[in-house]
Chain A
Amino acid sequence: MSIAAITGVGVVAPNGLGTAEYWSATLNGTSGIDRITRFDASSYPVQLAGEVSGFAAEAHLPSRLLPQTDHMTRMALVAADWALADAAVQPGEMPEFDMGVVTASASGGFEFGQRELENLWGRGPEYVSAYQSFAWFYAVNTGQISIRNGMRGPSGVLVSEQAGGLDALAHARRHLRKGTRLVLTGGVDSSLCPWGLTAQIPSGLLSRSTERGRAYLPFDAAAQGYVPGEGGAILVMEELEIAKAGCDRPIYGVLAGYASTFDPPPRSGRQPRLRRAIELALSDAGVVADDVDAVFADGAGVAELDRVEAAAISAVFGPYGVPVTVPKSMTGRLFSGGAALDVVAALLSIRDGVLPPTVGTGRPAPEYQLDLVTGAARPGTVRTVLVLARGYGGFNSAVVLTAPQV
Chain B
Amino acid sequence: MSAFTLNDLITIMRRCAGELDEVQLTGDIADVPFQDLGYDSLALLEATGWIAREYAVSLPDDVVTSIETPAELVAFVNEKLDRAA
Residues from chain B with a CB closer than 8 A to the CB of A67 are 15-18, 46
Q: How many angstroms between the C-alpha atoms of A64 and B39 in the bound complex?
A: 9
Q: Would you give the 0/1 interface string for A61-76, flagging 1 where the beta carbon is closer than 8 Å to chain B?
A: 0111111100000000
Q: Would you give the 0/1 interface string for A40-80, flagging 1 where the beta carbon is closer than 8 Å to chain B?
A: 00000000000000000000001111111000000000000
Q: Which residue of A lies closest to B20 (CB)?
A: A64
Q: How many residues of A contact B (CB 8 A)?
A: 13
> Is B20 a contact partner of A126 (Cβ separation < 8 A)?
no
Contacts of B23-76 to chain A: CB distance below 8 A? 38, 42-43, 45-46, 49, 52-53
Residues from chain B with a CB closer than 8 A to the CB of A126 are 49, 52-53
Q: Given A64-B38, A67-B46, A133-B42, does the pair A127, B53 have CB atoms closer than 8 Å?
A: yes
| A201 touches B (CB below 8 Å) | no
| A85 touches B (CB below 8 Å) | no
Helix, strand, loop or mixed for chain B's interface?
Answer: helix
Q: How many residues of B contact A (CB 8 A)?
A: 16
> Is A131 a contact partner of B14 (Cβ separation < 8 A)?
no
> Is A64 a contact partner of B18 (Cβ separation < 8 A)?
yes
> Is B18 a contact partner of A66 (Cβ separation < 8 A)?
yes
- Nearest-neighbour CB distance to chain B for A69, whole angstroms, equals 10
Residues from chain B with a CB closer than 8 A to the CB of A149 are none
Q: How many angstroms between the C-alpha atoms of A130 and B42 in the bound complex?
A: 6
| A114 touches B (CB below 8 Å) | no
> Is A65 a contact partner of B18 (Cβ separation < 8 A)?
yes
Residues from chain B with a CB closer than 8 A to the CB of A129 are 46, 49
Q: Given A63-B14, A64-B38, does the pair A130, B20 have CB atoms closer than 8 Å?
A: no
Q: Would you give the 0/1 interface string for A110-143, flagging 1 where the beta carbon is closer than 8 Å to chain B?
A: 0000000000000000110111010000000000
| B82 touches A (CB below 8 Å) | no
| B79 touches A (CB below 8 Å) | no
Give the A-binding residues of B (Cβ under 8 A): 14-21, 38, 42-43, 45-46, 49, 52-53
Can you pick out 9 interface pairs between chain A and chain B where the beta carbons lie within 8 Å of each other? A62-B21, A63-B19, A64-B19, A65-B18, A67-B16, A67-B17, A67-B46, A130-B45, A130-B49
Give the B-binding residues of A (Cβ under 8 A): 62-68, 126-127, 129-131, 133
